[in-house]
Amino acid sequence: MRAAVIDELGGEPALRDVPVPEPAGEDHLVAISTAALNPADLVYAAGIRLQPPLPYVPGLEGVGRLEDGSRVYVSMAPPPHGTFAEYAVAPAGTTMAVPDDVTDEQALCVGVAGTTAWLALTWKGALRAGESVLVTGATGSVGQIAVQAAAALGASRVVAAGRDHATLRTLREQGATDTVVLEGDYAAALADASRGGFDLVVDALFGEPLMAAIRATRMGGRVVNLGMRAGRSMQLDGIALKGKDLLSCNIGDAGPADIADAFGHLIGLVQAGRIAAESETVPLAEVTEIWRRQDSSPHRKLLLAV
C-alpha cells in the first residue's frame, strides 16, 4: 500500500510502498479515504514528548471504511500504523460512525481539533450557559471550533483573539460577539473586551498571550490551556493568577467515551449548520510539502486525500 513514512526522529514523511498492517486482537483495519494533519503530528515526530517507533506511518486521525463497509472516523490511530496511508489500524472501541450527510472534510474539522475545543469548554472548563468566553488562538483550527462551540453551548459573549484579520472577520459571522487582534497593546484590548473579567478562557497559545488572558479573567474564573503556539515557557504572575483556576486540557487524557460524546455533539452541530471550518485537501503524494505548511499555523485544516 502507499503510505507516508518517517524514518528518523525529526524527519519529514516521504511516500513509499509498505505492507498492509495486520490488526491484532479485536482491532480494526480501516481503508482510509481522507486523513488530517495536526500540530501534534509534528510534535510527536520531533520526539518532544514521546519517542515514536521508527520507522512509522504518522497521522492521528482519518475517515475511512471498515471491512464491513461502514464509514467511520478514526481518532488517535496508534503508531506505527497511522492514517497517512491507504490502510490504518484503529483500536477496538475507538472508531465513530460518520453519517452519510457529513463529508470527510467536515468530520475531520471537528475531529481532533473539534473534540479538543469541546472538551476544553465542557470537560475542563465546565462552561455554563450565560457565561462569557475568551478564545485565544481563535484563528487556528481548534480556536475556530471553540468559538462556534462556545456560542452553541449558550455563552452570553464569545470574544475571539488571534492574529489573522481575515479569519477574525469570518468568526464574527460564526458566533464571535467581539474580536481582538493580538498585536500592539493587546493586553489592554483584552481587558477592555472582558467587561470586568471573562468567566472562561480557552487558550491555545501559552506564553505572553496566556498571561494577558489571565489578567482579563474575573476572580473565580477558569483558564484552560490546550496548546503552546506562542512558546513552551512563560513567566507566570502569581498575583494575577490568584483566585482563578489554571487548567490544562490534553485530549489524550480523556476517555474514549468522552471523545465519542464530544464528536457526536459536534457532528450534530455540523448537520444543523451551526459549525463550519475552512479546510484544504491535497493528494497524499504532496505530504512532505503540506507537512511543512502545518508548522506555520495555516488557519485552516490541512487534509490528505488518500
Q: All domains of the chain, ordered by start, with CATH?
A: 2-110+277-305 (3.90.180.10), 114-252 (3.90.180.10)
> What's the confidence (pLDDT) of residue 252?
83
User: Which candidate, 124, 123, 122, 164, places its Cα nearest to that of 144?
Assistant: 164
Bridge-partner residues for 222, per DSSP?
200, 245
DSSP, collapsed to helix, strand or coil, labels residue 160 as strand
- Cell numbers placing 17: 510502498
Q: What is the per-residue pLDDT for 128?
A: 98
Phi/psi of residue 184, nearest 5 degrees? 60, -140
* Number of other residues whose CB lies within 10 A of the CB of residue 191: 18
Name the nearest CA neighbour of 81 among 37, 133, 28, 34.
28
What does 231-268 look like in DSSP terms, one character per residue? -S-----HHHHTTSEEEE--GGGS-HHHHHHHHHHHHH
Q: What is the DSSP letter of 120?
A: I
Taking alpha carbons only, the member of 120, 132, 115 closest to residue 61 is 115
Cα dist. 207→43, 51, 261 in Å?
Answer: 18, 25, 31
Q: How far is CA 27 from the centre of its chain?
A: 25
* Side chain identity at residue 87, one-letter code: Y
Tell me, what's the pLDDT at 48? 86
Terminal Cα distance for the chain, rounded: 11
Run means of pLDDT, 10 residues per run, the chain, 306 residues: 97 97 94 96 89 95 97 93 97 94 98 97 98 97 97 98 96 96 97 97 96 98 94 90 95 90 98 95 97 89 97
pTM: predicted TM-score of the whole model, two decimal places: 0.94
Cis geometry, peptide bond prior to residue 55 (ω within 30 degrees of 0): yes
